């Protein structure tokens, strides 16, 4: 016999289910209850950096859009600083770096407005290419899926990114790269997420 | 940061044999929504150990009272009045203070206030079904609500979800982000639910079943259930801290 390690176990995950909007986006469920819903403003008005829009669709293993997804984004500011007490440095007043969006019930499209993040220092002093961390929950997803959105106009930084380079299968790396276009002068990054099958998006165990 | 003692470092590895797998055949929707490739495991960077911070300006005090937060003046939702309370802890048993806990649920008849829910049980005009609160400095939280009803769902033709409250928790880092469901002690539907049974370990399922807590009830008013939530713990960086490039 040995001593018992007295750690607790993490509460097991369960799917967010089809009605996740009631709790996390009640306006979308069809009713107003809170003074303000959380997560609609990622960067705030004072954030420096380039204003961008990020859009996409989540596709299941049959090739159909998933229309009941909730996504959360977590990103640094333009200087590569997270709005968190453990990250040395300051962010702009009103910069939260966190957002929450849902897919359209009819089309499955989602999107959010933010600023393009700066490069964040990674492990061992290796800078990470600019990226937005995404977390995806929905009916049928038993534990939230983590992925990262990188930018196709940061090819040089992406090539050196320590996380992208962890992906041994080079053909899969491109599933993490959003593609830029311009719409009425606003940069729009397209990031489609494939849950399963051809072109399956890389998901991380963080 | 403190200069005394070891610094908090990376989160403990998530035990993915304790959590449900992505693919669980009897929960049919998971079949086409589960990745086929393995997850790529990351050692934590700032992107994972940091996460959003919320404060009392973000929410209102009434937000944790589902009996009052959507009721017309002088009215109440119909159903069994309950308190749900507990602590948010990490795997080291330390409280997780000032973290956002959000809940949502069906009404006493098992009907959700959601435009996509077409179950024939009626909407309760005095019940919204969502709430949120911040844990206090000891990781403690509480809600008041009505006990949700079971409801049918299209999986196998006669599947019924046990009574449950959906729970969303943030913790201090994005790696702790968790959504789960709370069940009620003694509910006979728990054993046959395909969503519950995505969890392979009976002890893990038990961790999601709130216990009747007579000590926390308000006599002649509201009965209580206790539900503690455990988030991932963090390693102390005893000998090294390579997160920031040292």
Gap between the Cα atoms of B61 and B82, Å rounded: 18
- pLDDT of res. A125: 87
Whether B1 and B181 have beta carbons less than 8 Å apart is answered as no
Residue B243: the pLDDT is 60
pLDDT greater than 70 at residue B113: yes
Burial class (CB in 10 A: 0-12, 13-18, 19+), B122: exposed
Res B241: pLDDT: 55
What part of A 122-141 touches B (C-beta under 8 Å)? 122-126, 128, 131, 133, 135, 137-141
pLDDT band of B132, cuts 50, 70, 90: very high
- The verdict on a CB contact (< 8 Å) between B233 and A26 is no
Residue B207 confidence class, pLDDT cut points 50, 70, 90: very high
Of A119-123, B143-147, B237-241, least confident by mean pLDDT is B237-241
Does the annotation count B37 as an active-site position? no
CB < 8 Å from B in window 40-99 of A: 60-62, 66, 68, 72, 74, 76, 82-88, 96-98
Query: Which pLDDT does position B131 carry in this prediction?
Result: 98
Report pLDDT for B245: 43
Q: Which of A22-36, A140-154, B149-163 has the lowest mean pLDDT?
A: A22-36
pLDDT of B84 above 90: yes
State the SS3 of chain A.
Answer: CCCCCCCCCCCCCCCCCCCHHHHHCHHHHCCCCCCCCCCCCCCCCCCCCCEEEEEEEEECCCCCECCCCEEEEECCCCCCCCCCCCCCCCCCCCCCCEEEEECCCCCCEEEEEEECCCCEECHHHCEECCEEEEEEECCCCCCCEEEEEEECCCHHHHHHCCCHHHCCCHHHHHHHEEEEEEECCEEEEECCEECCCCCCCCCEEC
Instruction: Give the pLDDT score at B244.
Output: 53
pLDDT class of B8 with cuts at 50, 70, 90: confident
Q: Are B37 and A167 in contact (CB under 8 A)?
A: no
Interface contacts A/B by beta carbons within 8 Å = 276
Of B31, B32, B130, the CB nearest to A26: B130
Model confidence at B4: pLDDT above 50: no
Distances (CA, A) of A176 to A66, A157, A194, B180: 19, 14, 10, 27
Residue A71 has pLDDT above 50, yes or no: yes
Stretch A100-121: mean pLDDT, rounded? 97
Q: How confident is the model at residue A161 (pLDDT cuts 50, 70, 90)?
A: very high
Which residue among B151, B183, B225, B232 is the active-site one? Answer: B151
pLDDT band of B239, cuts 50, 70, 90:
low
For the question of residue B154 being annotated catalytic, the response is no
Q: What is the band of B236 on the pLDDT scale with cuts at 50, 70, 90?
A: confident
Pairing of β B178-184 and β B209-212: parallel
Query: By CA distance, what is A95's nearest residue in B?
Result: B52
At residue A43, does pLDDT exceed 60?
yes
**Which of the four pLDDT bands, split at 50, 70 and 90, describes residue B137?**
very high
For residue B2, pLDDT beyond 50: no
Q: What's the pLDDT at B196?
A: 98
pLDDT, average across residues B120-134: 98
Stretch B238-245: mean pLDDT, rounded? 57
B94 pLDDT higher than 80? yes
Average pLDDT over residues B89-94: 97
pLDDT at B9 (0 to 100): 87
What mean pLDDT comes out for the span B82-109? 98
pLDDT above 80: residue A21: yes
Phi, psi of B140 (to 5 degrees): -90, 140
How far is the C-alpha of A140 from the C-alpha of B29, rounded, in Å? Answer: 4
A180/chain B closest Cα distance in angstroms: 23
Which is higher by pLDDT, A70 or B244?
A: A70
A5–B contact, CB cutoff 8 A: no
Distance CA B62, CA B71 (A): 11
Rounded Cα distance between B155 and B181, Å, is 18
CA distances to A6, A78, B48, B189, B207 from B16, in Å: 19, 34, 17, 25, 15
Task: Identify the pLDDT of residue B242.
Answer: 59
Q: Could you give the C-alpha distances from A203 to A52, B40, B54, B213, B239, in angstroms and in order? A: 24, 6, 27, 40, 30
Q: Does A107 touch chain B (CB under 8 A)?
A: no
Q: Identify the closest residue of chain A to B42 by CA–CA distance.
A: A206
């Amino acid at each position: 016999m040995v001593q018992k390690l007295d750690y607790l176990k993490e509460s097991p995950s369960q799917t967010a289910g089809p009605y996740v909007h009631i709790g996390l986006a009640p306006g979308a469920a069809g009713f107003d209850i809170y003074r303000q819903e959380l997560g609609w403003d990622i960067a705030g008005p004072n954030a420096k950096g380039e204003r961008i829009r990020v859009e996409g669709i989540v596709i299941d293993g049959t090739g159909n859009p998933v229309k009941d997804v909730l996504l959360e984004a977590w990103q640094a500011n333009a200087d590569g600083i997270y709005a968190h007490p453990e990250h040395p440095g300051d962010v702009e007043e009103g910069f939260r770096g966190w957002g929450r969006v849902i897919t359209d019930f009819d089309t499955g499209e989602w999107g959010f407005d933010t600023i393009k993040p700066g490069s964040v220092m990674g492990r061992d002093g290796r800078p990470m290419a600019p990226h937005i961390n995404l977390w995806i929950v929905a009916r049928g997803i038993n534990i939230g899926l983590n992925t990262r959105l990188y930018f196709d106009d940061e090819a040089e930084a992406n090539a050196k990114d320590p996380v992208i380079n962890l992906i041994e299968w080079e053909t899969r790396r491109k599933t993490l790269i959003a593609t830029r276009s311009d719409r009425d002068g606003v940069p729009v990054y397209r990031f489609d997420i494939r849950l399963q099958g051809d072109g399956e998006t890389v998901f991380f165990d963080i | 940061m403190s200069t005394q003692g070891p610094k908090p470092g990376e989160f403990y590895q998530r035990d993915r044999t304790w959590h449900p797998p992505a693919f669980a055949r009897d929960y049919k929707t998971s079949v086409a929504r589960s990745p086929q490739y393995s997850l790529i495991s990351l050692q934590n960077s700032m992107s994972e150990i940091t996460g959003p911070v919320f404060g009392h300006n973000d929410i209102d005090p009434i937000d944790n009272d589902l009996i009052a937060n959507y009721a017309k003046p002088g009215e109440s939702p119909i159903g069994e009045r309950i308190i749900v309370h507990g602590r948010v802890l990490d795997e080291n048993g330390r409280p997780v203070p000032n973290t956002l806990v959000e809940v949502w649920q069906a009404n006493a008849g098992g009907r959700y206030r959601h435009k996509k829910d077409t179950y024939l049980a009626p909407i309760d005009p005095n019940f919204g079904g969502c709430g949120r609160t911040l844990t206090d400095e000891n990781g403690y939280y509480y809600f008041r609500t009505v006990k949700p009803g079971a409801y049918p769902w299209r999986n196998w033709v006669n599947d019924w979800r046990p009574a449950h409250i959906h729970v969303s928790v943030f913790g201090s880092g994005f790696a702790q982000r968790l959504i789960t469901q709370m069940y009620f002690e003694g509910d006979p539907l728990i054993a046959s639910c395909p969503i519950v049974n995505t969890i392979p370990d009976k002890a893990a399922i038990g961790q999601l079943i709130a216990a009747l807590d007579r000590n926390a009830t308000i006599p002649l008013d509201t009965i209580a259930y206790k539900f503690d939530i455990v988030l991932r713990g963090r390693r102390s960086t005893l000998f090294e801290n390579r997160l920031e490039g040292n």
